Amino acid sequence: MSKSLRRILSVLLAVVMLSTVSLTTLAADSPIEIQLNGVLLEYPSGVRPQLFSSRTFVPFRDLFETLGAVVSFDDATHIITAVRGDTTISFSQTGKEITVVKNGVTSTVLSDVAPRTVNSRVLVPVRFVAQALGANVGWDSYNRTVLIADAYSYIADDSNTYDILGKLSALSAATPQYSQIDAKVDLNIETTEGGVTTKLPIDATAKIITSATGIDAKINGNIDIASFLPPLEPGYFYPTTKQPVNAEIIFNAETGLLAVQSEFLNEFFNGLIGENLAVGTWLTVDYSSLASLLAPEVDIDLDLDAISAPSDLSNPKAIVDYLTETLFAQADLVSIYDFEFIETSAGSVRDLLADDSFTKSGNNYVSTYTLDEYGTTLKYALTIKANGAGKATGFALDVEYNESYSFTYGDTTFESSSAIKLHIDTDGLRTALNISYSDGSTLIDLKLNVTNQPSTAKPRTAIPTGAKIFDLGKI
C-alpha cells in the first residue's frame, strides 16, 4: 500500500471516529425531556429537568401541578405535601422518605436519593415522586425522555356514562362463603412441521371448592399420546393411547401454601431433578416465590397494589376506571411512541362499554368495536342479555384478533399470519369459554364449560396429615 493511500485512509478513519465521538457527545449533552401521557411537559418555573446521580430531577411544583395535584410547602418544617384525589404524599425537602396516604391507609416509601435545592428551587426525583402518586414511569434512552403514563387525568376526562354495563350488576348476587365449581375441559394442540402433523388432545373434569382465602381442586383428565407412539406392524395395536393425568391442588392465601399431588407431575420431576418421589408425594411451593421458581432469569416487577380494585362491582364506572388503571400501570414504557398504544387500548375499552356504543337488539344490548391498522385487525362484540323487564340475564363476548405481515429479502418474500378467537357466554352460574389460536403451523383449541353454585363444603387449607411432601423451593 502506498504512503499516499495510507494517508488518505488514515484521514478518512479519523473523520469517522471524530464524527462518532461528536454524535455521541451531542446525544449525551442533549436536554432531558419529560413526556406525560404523550405530551412533553412545559416548565413554568423556567428550570428544566436536571440529571444528578443518574436520576432525573425537576422542580416539585412543576411536576405535581402538571399531574393535577394541589401542592403546599411548609416554610417552618420544610415539608412538601401534594394532594390528588384520595392520595396524599408528603416528604422533607432534605429527606429520602415519603409518606403516602391512600384511601386512609398510610405507608412509608424510601427513595435512594433525596430532593435537591438548586438556585433556591427544590427539585425532586421524577420517577420516585410520580410513582408515589400512582403513575407508571419509563425511560426512552434514545430520545433522553422520561415517560409518564398517568391514568388519573385520563380517567378524569371521561364524560361517558356506563348505565347499560351496570345492568350486569344484577348477576352479581351476594358472594357465598363457599362455592363449588364444576368444570369440563377439552384441549387440542396440533403442530405441523415438515409435512408431519402431531396432535395432543387433552380432556379433563374438575371439581373446585373455593372461599375468599383458598382453593381445593380435584382434577381427572387424560392426554392422548397416539401421535407420539411409534407405528406398530399390521394387525397390532396399542391397548390404549391415553395417559391419565389426575391431580389435587390446595391453595391457602393466608399461609402462602400451594400444593399439588399428581403422579404425572411426580414422574416429570423425577426425570428433571433425579429424585425418586414416592407415590402420593405432594409438591409444595410458597406461591409468593413461584414466579422466580418458574423463571428465575426474568425480572418481574408487577405492582398490583398500585391498582385499586373496585370494591363495588355494581358501579360500572369504577370497573371501567379499574381496567384503564390496569392498562396504564402495566404498560412497558421504553419509547416516546408507547403512549399511543396505551391510549388506543384504553380508548377501545370506552368505545366498547360506554352507553353510546350499545344498540338495542330485541331485549338485548349489543356493542361492537373494530381496530384495523398495520396489518392487525381486532374485533370485539359484547352482548348484554336482558329479559322483557330490562334486567340482565347474562352476557356474551366475542373477540377476534388477526395479524399478518410480509417482507421481502432479496428474491425471497416471507409471510406470516396468526389468529386468535375468544367466545364467552355466561348467565352468572354457567359459563362456556372457547379459545382458538392458529398461526399456520400450530393450532390450539380450548373448550371450557363451568358451573358455579353455592356450597356448604369448605376447601382444605393444609396437606393431609402424614402425607409425604417435597418442597420445590429446594430445586
pLDDT at residue number 335? 95
Closest CA to 317 of 186, 140, 211, 166: 166
Do 297 and 446 fall within a single domain? yes
Do 119 and 184 fall within a single domain? no
Q: Is residue 232 part of a domain?
A: yes
Q: What is the pLDDT of residues 361-378, one digit of tens each?
A: 999 999 999 988 878 899
Q: Is residue 129 part of a domain?
A: yes
Do 190 and 108 fall within a single domain? no
Which of 87, 119, 135 is a domain's end point?
135
With contact defined as beta carbons under 8 Å apart, do 247 and 225 qualify? no
Q: Is residue 415 part of a domain?
A: yes
Q: Is residue 22 part of a domain?
A: no
Helix pair angle (338-353, 316-329), 10° resolution: 160
Do 365 and 327 fall within a single domain? yes
pLDDT at residue number 364? 96
Do 74 and 173 fall within a single domain? no
Q: Residue 14: pLDDT above 50?
A: no
Domains: count for the chain: 2
Over pLDDT 90: what percentage of the chain?
Answer: 54
With contact defined as beta carbons under 8 Å apart, do 184 and 445 qualify? no
Q: What is the pLDDT of residues 117-129, one digit of tens each?
A: 888 889 999 998 8
Lowest mean pLDDT among 50-54, 143-147, 457-461: 50-54
Which of 135, 155, 183 is a domain's end point?
135
Do 279 and 380 fall within a single domain? yes
pLDDT at residue number 311? 54
Range of the domain at 101: 47-135
Bridge partners, residue 70, by sequence:
83
Q: What is the pLDDT of residues 318-339, one digit of tens each?
A: 889 999 999 999 889 999 999 9
Mean residue pLDDT across the chain: 85
Do 277 and 203 fall within a single domain? yes
Q: Which long-range contacts (CB under 8 A, 24 or more apart) does 267-271 make?
A: 269/470, 269/472
Do 109 and 202 fall within a single domain? no
Do 205 and 60 fall within a single domain? no
Do 311 and 182 fall within a single domain? yes
Q: Is residue 5 part of a domain?
A: no
Q: Which long-range contacts (CB under 8 A, 24 or more apart) does 68-71 make?
A: 68/152, 68/153, 68/156, 69/133
Q: Is residue 9 part of a domain?
A: no
Do 112 and 213 fall within a single domain? no
Do 129 and 176 fall within a single domain? no
Q: Is residue 203 part of a domain?
A: yes
Q: Is residue 143 part of a domain?
A: no
Q: State the CATH number of the domain containing residue 59.
A: 3.30.457.10
Amino acid letter, residue 306: A
Q: What is the pLDDT of residues 390-401, one digit of tens each?
A: 889 999 999 999
Amino acid letter, residue 103: N
